[in-house]
Structure 1
Amino acid sequence: MTARETQMAVAQTINADGASPVVLVCEHASCFIPDALQGLGLSDAAKVSHAAWDPGALGVAVRMSDRLDATLVASGVSRLVYDCNRPPEAAGAMPVKSEIFDIPGNADLSVDARAARVAAYYAPFRDMLAQVMASKPAPVLVTIHSFTPVYNGAPRAVEIGILHDTDTRLADAMLDRGAAHTQADVQRNAPYGPGDGVTHTLQVHGVAHGHPSVMIEVRNDLIQTEAQQAQIGDMLSEWLADACAQLNAEGVRCRA
């Protein structure tokens, strides 16, 4: 397998020629664990649990890609192999525990083993996303995630989270326009926020370059079926376009 083929296997672009300045990202699109890692020592149930990926998120992101004619960059491996929304130095990049699940294959990784994971799984994704962002004259970064309705035994009331890092512009506009698009329980920086280390992609590919950016979290019981994913994807596309129009009216270059 060539270096390019390897890169495509661990990260992919969907609708690479999309005309929209929006760049969609799905860091936790897949629960695939390469054979060489021997399943990370996980049970079959753990391998497909919410700890391993974001169920429904890719379906929502693909629908948004279609609706907006936007390029989508998605990781091709489980976030337990490498969480592409974490920097290499973060413990959560290759977690030894995720909620109730121990990850035996990530325990006691050597410096060299961690570096090999970074090179094999994070660098191709990071570089592919950077290339896509650089190809747009005024990119707008939107990352799509899902979260479990019950975490460590505690139910979560929030249904859609609008997350941001230090650049709040797009999140503010989405929250301002939210009631026009959904009756869901929408909250800022919930169920996670910057303090939880979840805004790495926004920081590196959005904030650092002055590009408007937002992370959208959808509770995964709302996007279990293809029909639900399409419905939420359509709603989010219209909501995002409305928020971008508001920012444009305020003098911020932002178009969906």
Structure 2
Amino acid sequence: MTEPVLCPADPAPVTLIGPPLAPGPLVFLGDHAGALIPRSLGTLGVGEADRRRHIALDIGIGQLGRLLAEHFGATFVSQTYSRLVVDCNRAPFSPGAMPEVSDGTAIPGNTDLAETVRADRVAAIHEPYHQAIADLLAGRRAAGLPTILVALHSFTPVYAGKARPWQAGVIHGGPGSDYGRRVLAGLQGVQDLTVGDNLPYAFDDTDYTIPRHAFPNALQWLEIEIRQDLLGTPDQVAEVARWLAPVLRDAMEG
């Protein structure tokens, strides 16, 4: 018998912060908010410095999600474990869900994984996270509450040797993205802020969370990316929340 992915001493794979039946529509998601690795997996063969890099988590998003949830009296659904264990914004059995190499760093603990091992990680972490989102949405729907999904992500200032000038990026496309386009317009009006329109990433078929939860429920949604050098300290994260929150609020009125 193989050792369970999560043991009783490991934290739960998902945390809900804030009231699930908040009257306001915003629900914040942190697909890559956590950086923990289950005890059963050790370090995945990855050094400590790399386990703090963007390959392991979306830096700053855990705190940003908490601040925004507190500001709006909303819910933040936060993933606990590192995206290197299983990426919850990827189809569970896709190659990108458990990468063998990420941004040039080998992940020995993900090399030549058996399908049973992949299935165990999905069952322990990926599916409980998405089931928590589905249950939250079902509860809100039953209560007659409107919902807008806001998936929070962060990105590196430099990737593959190229500097990224955008301080924030709005990812939109497909059904339900009117809210995202209004947020894009609002951020473009923030003084001294350089905003990417589907940059540094664009919505594509690698995205999993929004297609799984927003599309079948006909929800408005937004994926927003914040550059990680703006999220390096608690004060910096608070400053991002300060200029982001009014834009998210105003876009609800469009």
TM more than 0.5:
yes
Asked if the contact 1:147/1:218 (under 8 Å) is kept, the reply is yes
CA offset digits 1:50-102 (Å, max 9, x no partner):
11001111111111101111100000000000111111122111111111211
Question: Identity of counterpart residues, as a percentage?
Answer: 33
Q: Tell me what 1:133 maps to.
A: 137
CA distance in 2, matches of 1:195, 1:91: 16
Deviation at 1:196, TM superposition (A): 6.7
**1:165–1:8: structure 2 CA closer, same or farther, 3 Å change rule?**
farther
Say how many residue pairs are matched.
243
1:106-144, CA deviations, whole angstroms, 9 ceiling, x for partnerless residues? Answer: 010011111011001101100001111222221110011
Match of 1:151 in 2: 159
Query: Which residue identity does 2:55 align to in structure 1?
Result: A
List 4+ stretches of structure 1 deviating above 4 A: 5-8
Stretches of structure 2 that go unaligned for 5 or more consecutive residues are none
**Residues 1:219 and 2:223 are matched in the alignment:** no
Q: In structure 1, what is the equivalent of residue 59 of structure 2?
A: 55
> Contact between 1:25 and 1:74, CA under 8 Å: does it hold in 2?
yes
Instruction: Quote the residue 1:14 is aligned against.
Output: 17
The answer to whether the 8 A contact 2:147-2:220 is kept is yes
**Structure (1/2) with the larger helix percentage:** 1
Helix, strand or coil at the partner of 2:113: coil
CA RMSD of aligned residues (A): 2.0
Q: Where does structure 1 lack aligned partners over 5 or more consecutive residues?
A: 247-256
Q: C-alpha separation between the residues in 2 aligned to 1:185 and 1:46?
A: 28
1:179 aligns with 2:188: yes
5 Å-filtered alignment, 1:23-42, equals 23-42=27-46
Distance 1:182 1:217, change over 3 A: farther
Please point out which of 169, 174, 177 is paired with 2:178. 169
Compute the TM-score of the two structures, normalised by the length of structure 2: 0.90
**Do the aligned residues in 2 keep the contact of 1:96 with 1:103 (CA within 8 Å)?**
yes
TM-score w.r.t. structure 1 length? 0.89
- Displacement, 1:182? 4.5
Q: Give the AA of the match of 2:210.
A: L
Q: Is 1:76 the equivalent of 2:76?
A: no
